[in-house]
Amino acid sequence: MTDNDSGVPEPVVRRPSRWQFSLVWLVPLVAAVVGLGLLIRTWMMAGPTITIQFKTAEGIEEGKTQLRFKEVVIGKVRSIELTDDFTQVKVTVDLNKHASRAAVADSRFWVVRPRADLGGVSGLGTLLSGAYIGVDIGKSEESQRAFKGLEVPPAVTNDSQGRGFRLVAKDLGSLNLGSPVYYRRVPVGRVVGYEMDPDGRAVSLQIFVDAPYDRFVTPSTTFWNASGVDVSAGPQGFKLNTQSLVSVIAGGVAFQPPERNEPPAAEGGRFRLYDDMASAMAPQDKVQLALRLRFYQSVRGLAVGAPVDFHGLQLGEITKIDFEYDAQRQRFAADVSAVIYPERLGNAYLSLRGQLKQADDEAPRRVFERLISQSLRAQLRSGNLLTGQQYVALDFLSKGEPTLAPPQAGALTMPTVPGSFDQIQTQITNIVDKIEKIPFDEIGLQLRDSLRDANQLLKTLDGKVAPEMQQTLEQARLTLRSAEEALGSDGPMQQDLRGTLESVDRAARSLRSLTEGLQRNPQSLLRGKPDDPVLLRLSPLPPQGLEQTPP
Amino acid sequence: MSTAIRTATEMGLIGCRRCGHVMQRPETVEGSSCARCGAPLRWRKPQSLERCWAFLIAAMILYIPANTLTMMRTINPFNATDDTIMSGVIYLWVAGTPELAAIVFVASVMVPIGKFIALLILLISVQRGSPHDRVGRTRMYRIIEKIGHWSMLDVFVVALLVALVRFDLFGRVEAGGGAICFGGVVVLTMMASLSFDPRLIWDTPEKT
C-alpha cells in the first residue's frame, strides 16, 4: 500500500475500524434491556424467602402449594426438606414482594387441610385444591425468616378485634382449644390455648373475647367452667346444669362481671377459673382457717369438697381425709382436714372479732377457739339419705365426750362428737333388736286360741240366746201396743178422765162461791141466804140471773 | 490434509452468493455486481463476525430469563401452576413420560446451549486465525444451521396450548415471559448462525 514508483504520496486510506459501532449491536443491547427488565421485574415481584417447620408435609407440594393470607395467594412453596435431625419438615416458601410484611417475628403459619372438629368443618375447599399454608401476619416490626408452623389453625388471628385473657384453673376439665366463652349464654369468645404451669400444679388457659364484648370483662369479673353436663350429687341432691348444646360437647367458659361499674380489664389480665358457677358466685374468701377433725366413726359419704356447715351456712369445705390408727384406743380414726372461711359468717364474725383485744392474722383462730370453749363441736351429719352424702356440721353441743384430733401446726383442732346419723343408726339398731325379741310366734298361737274361744261363744249366743230374745221382744211389743191403745186420745180412759176433771172443776167453782158468800155474809151460815144482788151476782150458779142483771 | 485445497481468493476469483456464477475478482469488490444475476458481489458477508457476536450475546442474555421466568402458567379453579422449562422437563419425567422429557430437554436446553458453544468456538477460532480442523468446524456450522429452528418446539407447544386450552372457568393456559424470551433466543441464535460466514474458517493461511 505504501510503496509507490512515482514518489507521489498516496492519500492515507483509513480503513474503517473493525470494531466501529454498528447498528447490529443494538440487538444485544435491546436483548439485555429486555432480559434485565424481565429479571428485575421478577426479582422485584419476589419477596423474601422464608422457611417454616412443620411436623409433617402432608398435602404440601413443591412449587404448587400456596401461601395464603385471607385466601389471597402471597407466596408459594419452593422446596420441602427434612430437618437435619429428621424430626421435622422444613418448607421453604417464596413470598411475593408485596407480602414481605408477612415475614415478621409474630407471624404464624399453619397448613389448611380439611378439618372436622366440634366447632364445625373447615377447609372443605382444600379437598379438591389440595392443602395450602395459611398465615396470620403479625404486627411486629422485627423481620424473621425461620418460623415454626402451627399444627392447628390459630383460633384468633392478629386482625381480630377483642382482647385475650389468662385463666388459671385447677384442671382443664372438658375444655379444649376452641371451647366457647359465654357471657349471659351468648358465645362471645373462645379458648385459644392452654398450658400446664411449670410446676404442674395448675393449668393456664388463654381465652379470647371478641369485641365489643371484651369490655364486659372487668378486673373483678369471675370466670367459671360451664363445661358439658354438670351432674353433681351433693348433699343438696342431684343437680344438673348445662350452658348450651355446644358446651355440652365441647366444654365452655362463662363469665360474669360484678354488679358495680368497672373499667374494662387490661389485655392479658389473669383471672381464676372456678369449677362451677356456684363457687364462682360464692363470696370471695380471703380469710381462711384450717381445721383438723377426728372421727372414730365411718366417714362413708364424706368426700373431699363436702361442705362444713354452720347453722345451714356453708362455712367451708373438706380438703382431705386421712386414716390413722389410734394405738391407745385400738381403733381406726379418720383425720379430716377442712378449711373454713370465717368471713362467710358476715356481721357475726365481725362482731366476734370486735370482741377480741387485738385484731391480727390470728384473729379468726382465736374467735373459733373461743367458740370451742363455748362448746362448739363438729359432727358428721347425713346430708342426703338417698345418696348417703355426709357433711360436717358445726354446732354448739354440750352433750357427749368430744374427740380431739392430734394437733397440727397451722390448723385448729376442732373437737368432734359422734354424729346424729350415727346416733340414729344406733337407736334404730336398738329398736330393731327389741322388735326381734318380741315372741311373735307365741303371740300368734295365743291369738288363735282366743279367736277360737270367741267363735264358740258367738255360736252359743246365736243358737240359744237369740230365739229367747226374739220372744221377749215380741211380748214387749204387745205390751207397748196395749199401753198405747189405753193412753190414746180417743181411748175410754182419756174420756173418763176428762169427765171427771170437769166435775172436779164444777165442784171447785161451787166451793169458791160458797166460800165467798160465807166471807161476805158469814151470818148466812146461820140465817140462810139473803137475796142480795151482790151475792146473786157473785154466785156462778144461776148464770141466767146474772146476765139479766144490769151491771 | 488440506494441501490440495486452493481457495477462490488465492486464484483471484469470486463467486456470486445468489446464483453461484464465478467471475474474475475485481480490484474493488465494493460496488461491483454479478455479471449474470446482478446481485451485489461481496467477498465475505459484511461484518460477519461483528453481527454474529452481537446476536450471540443477545441470545445468551435472553437465555437467562427464558429459563428462570415462567414458560407456561396452567390455571385451574383451585390452583395456578407456573412452569419453567426445567420444571416442565422434571414434571414430564416424574409423570412417567421420560421420552417426552428427553425431547423437550434436547430441544429446549441442549440445542440452544450447543449452539452457543459451537458459535463461540467458531467465532474465537476464526478471530484467532486458528488453522485446526477446518473441515470439522465447517461441519459443525452446517449442523447448527440445520437444527437451530428445532428449538422452537417449546414455543410452538406453548403457543398451541394457549390457543387451545381456553375453558375459562375450568382451566386455561397462559404464556409467561419465559416463552417470549425463549422465542427470542431461538431467533437470535438463528440470526447469529446466518450472519456467520463459514468461508472465514478457510481464510487463515495454511500453516507450513
> Testing the interface with B: which of A25, A68, A72, A73 to mutate, by most B Cβ within 10 A?
A25
Q: What is the pLDDT of residues A30-52, one digit of tens each?
A: 888 888 887 787 777 777 888 99
Cβ of B177 within 8 Å of Cβ of A128? The answer is no
Say how many Å lie between the first and final Cα of chain A, rounded.
221
Cβ of B78 within 8 Å of Cβ of A128? The answer is yes
> Measured between CA atoms, how close is B116 to chain A, in angstroms?
14
Say how many Å lie between the first and final Cα of chain B, rounded.
12
Q: What is the pLDDT of residues A76-88, one digit of tens each?
A: 888 898 988 888 8
What residues in A contact B188, CB-CB < 8 Å?
Answer: 27, 31
Closest residue on chain A to B68 (Cα): A39
Q: What are phi and psi of A119, to 5 degrees?
A: -75, -15
Spatial separation of the C-alpha atoms in residues A52 and A144, rounded to whole Å = 11
Average pLDDT of the residues of chain A: 81
The closest alpha carbon to B108, from B56, B36, B182, B37, belongs to B182
> Measured between CA atoms, how close is B51 to chain A, in angstroms?
6
Cβ of B50 within 8 Å of Cβ of A34? The answer is no
Instruction: Find out whether the peptide bond into A212 is cis, omega within 30 degrees of 0.
Output: yes
Size of interface A-B (CB pairs under 8 A): 73
Spatial separation of the C-alpha atoms in residues A40 and A38, rounded to whole Å = 5
Nearest to B50 among A24, A129, A130 (CB): A24
What residues in A contact B170, CB-CB < 8 Å?
Answer: none
User: What 8-state DSSP symbol labels residue A150?
Assistant: B
Amino acid found at B184: G
Nearest to B65 among A24, A39, A129 (CB): A39
Judged on CB neighbours under 10 Å (0-12, 13-18, 19+), B199 is: middle
> What b/e sequence results for A152-162 when a residue is b if at least 16 CB atoms lie within 10 Å of its CB, and e otherwise?
ebbbbbeeeeb
The closest alpha carbon to A48, from A74, A80, A16, A19, belongs to A74
What are the residue ranges in chain B where pLDDT is below 70?
Answer: 1-5, 78-79, 149, 204-208
Cβ of B81 within 8 Å of Cβ of A63? The answer is yes
Q: Residue A547 pLDDT more than 60? A: no
* β pairing state of A230-234 and A180-183: unpaired
Residue pair A393/A381 in contact (Cβ under 8 Å)? The answer is yes
Give this complex's ipTM: 0.71
Q: What is the pLDDT of residues B82-122, one digit of tens each?
A: 788 888 888 888 888 888 888 888 888 888 898 899 999 98
Nearest to B181 among A27, A28, A38 (CB): A38
Q: pLDDT band for position A216 (50/70/90)?
A: confident
Amino acid found at A158: N
Rg for chain B (alpha carbons), in Å? 22
Taking the domain B47-203, which CATH number applies? Answer: 1.20.140
What is the three-class DSSP state of A279? helix
Nearest to B64 among A39, A66, A128 (CB): A39
What residue segments make up the domains of chain B, in order of their start?
A: 1-43, 47-203
Spatial separation of the C-alpha atoms in residues A465 and A175, rounded to whole Å = 90
Closest residue on chain A to B77 (Cα): A129
The three-state DSSP-derived secondary structure of A285-339 is: CCCCEEEEEEECCCCCCCCCCCEEEECCEEEEEEEEEEEEEECCCCEEEEEEEEE
pTM tops 0.80, yes or no: no
CA distances from A299 to A61, A88, A312, A320, A380 (A): 64, 54, 20, 12, 8
The pLDDT value recorded for residue A473 is 92
> What b/e sequence results for B86-96 when a residue is b if at least 16 CB atoms lie within 10 Å of its CB, and e otherwise?
ebbbbbbbeee
Residue pair B137/B54 in contact (Cβ under 8 Å)? The answer is no
> Measured between CA atoms, how close is B115 to chain A, in angstroms?
17
For the four alpha carbons of A536, A540, A543 and A548, in that order, the dihedral sign comes to positive
Q: What is the pLDDT of residues A370-404, one digit of tens each?
A: 888 888 888 888 777 777 788 888 888 877 778 88
What residues in B contact A19, CB-CB < 8 Å?
Answer: 50
The segment with the largest mean pLDDT, out of A336-345, A507-516, B128-137, is A507-516
